Amino acid sequence: MSALEVRDLSFAYGAREALRQVSFSLAPGRFAALLGPNGAGKSTLIALLTRLYDLQRGDIVVGECSLRTAPRPALRQLGVVFQQSTLDLDLSVEQNLRYHAALHGLARRQTGLRVDAELARQGLTERRGERVRELNGGHRRRVEIARALLHEPRLLLLDEASAGLDPASRLALNQHIRSLCHEQQISVLWTTHLLDEVHSGDDLLILHQGRLVASGQADALSLEHGGNLGAAFAHLTHSGASR
Ligand code: ADP
Ligand code: MG
């Protein structure tokens, strides 16, 4: 069974086509990078996966649940970190998590246990009482990751999670998500426009102008282009590559 299956997904904002016949599947417990330049359609895909927008064409299946026919059980298996932060800066780290847990109907007792566990996993236990406004960008992202994992999803979606961070924090966050993925067997879909966030062992999806122009193992794709993933990316996303 796949962690996620996207089937023939197309989406348009009015007359503007943002995704065109996108299909792929993610294996459980894998780190998959969705790489694409600005405007490729990454955030639109995340918005469809999280049901921010209704599906127009195609289907999305999470685990065995279709977003069309079983949206609630499908969404329950998803955790998401959006491109724009949605934390309340004036609430503490813990308050942000508890607020989210309440929204999702977690029982009080369970909430306490889950908040403790996720704060520990993100290395934030000591900061639980601090207002989010006082945290740096990397730590704020970790709060969002803790929040996304509170209900123990099987698939974590991150939309340009490292944007705006300095290079060291960017690398640390990417590494952190990789260890979560490998140690806890959480499937990850990591979207980025930055090639250096893709590792050779990753599953790689390349999106360009709303089309999936490559999917497979990053190293296999790299081999097809003389061992140079940068060359592959440039070749697949130069403007002539779209049809
Ligand atoms: P990415 O996240 O890869 O940068 P987006 O999914 O944000 O790409 O955008 C894909 C395309 O859809 C772009 O051409 C963008 O201008 C367009 N688009 C995104 N959001 C909207 C919107 N709310 N209304 C109209 N067009 C949009
Ligand atoms: Mg985006």
Where a domain ends, among 152, 175, 197?
A: 152
3-state SS, residue 92: strand
Check whether residue 121 and residue 212 sit in a common domain: no
Q: Do 231 and 206 belong to one domain?
A: yes
State whether 181 and 144 are in the same domain. no
User: Is residue 82 domain-resident?
Assistant: no
Q: Do 182 and 229 belong to one domain?
A: yes
Structure-block tokens of residue 228: 């140079």
What per-residue confidence (pLDDT) applies to 242? 43
Q: Is residue 14 part of a domain?
A: yes
Question: Counting every residue, how long is the chain?
Answer: 243
Q: Domain for residue 139, yes or no?
A: yes
Residues 12 and 34 in one domain: yes
Shared domain for 237 and 130, answered yes or no, is no
pLDDT tens-digit map of 193-243 = 999 999 999 999 999 999 999 999 999 999 998 889 999 999 999 864 444
Structure confidence at residue 1 (pLDDT): 86
Final residue in a domain of this structure, among 152, 174, 206: 152
Alpha carbon of 35 to ligand 1 centroid (Å): 15
What's the one-letter identity of residue 25?
Answer: S
Whether 59 is covered by a domain: the verdict is yes
Decide which of 152, 170, 193 is a domain's last residue: 152
The stretches of 81-162 forming alpha helices (DSSP H) are 93-103, 108-121, 137-149
Q: Is residue 182 part of a domain?
A: yes
Give yes or no: residues 121 and 165 share one domain: no
Same domain for 161 and 143: no
Ligand 1: residues whose CB is within 6 Å?
Answer: 13, 16, 18, 36, 38-44
Looking from the CA of residue 36, the nearest atom of ligand 1 is 3
Helix (H, G, I), strand (E, B) or coil at 77: coil
Which tokens belong to 65? 């649940």
**Number of domains forming the structure of the chain:** 2
pTM of the predicted structure, to 2 decimals: 0.94
| Ligand showing the shortest atom-to-Cα distance for residue 20 | 1
- Note the Cα 76 to chain centre separation in Å: 15
Q: How far is CA 99 from CA 108, 112, 173, in A?
A: 11, 12, 24
- Tell me: do 18 and 134 sit in the same domain: no
- Residues 152, 120, 147, 27, CA torsion sign: negative
Distance in Å, CA 18 to ligand 1 centroid: 6
Closest-approaching ligand to the CA atom of 210: 1
Do the domain assignments include residue 117? Answer: yes
Ligand 1 midpoint to CA 131 (Å):
32
- For residues 161 and 145, state if they share a domain: no
Domain hosting 37: range is 1-77+157-243
Same domain, 147 and 175: no
The model's pLDDT over 69-126, given as tens digits with 9 standing for 90+, comes to: 999 999 999 999 999 999 999 999 999 999 999 988 899 889 999 999 999 999 999 9
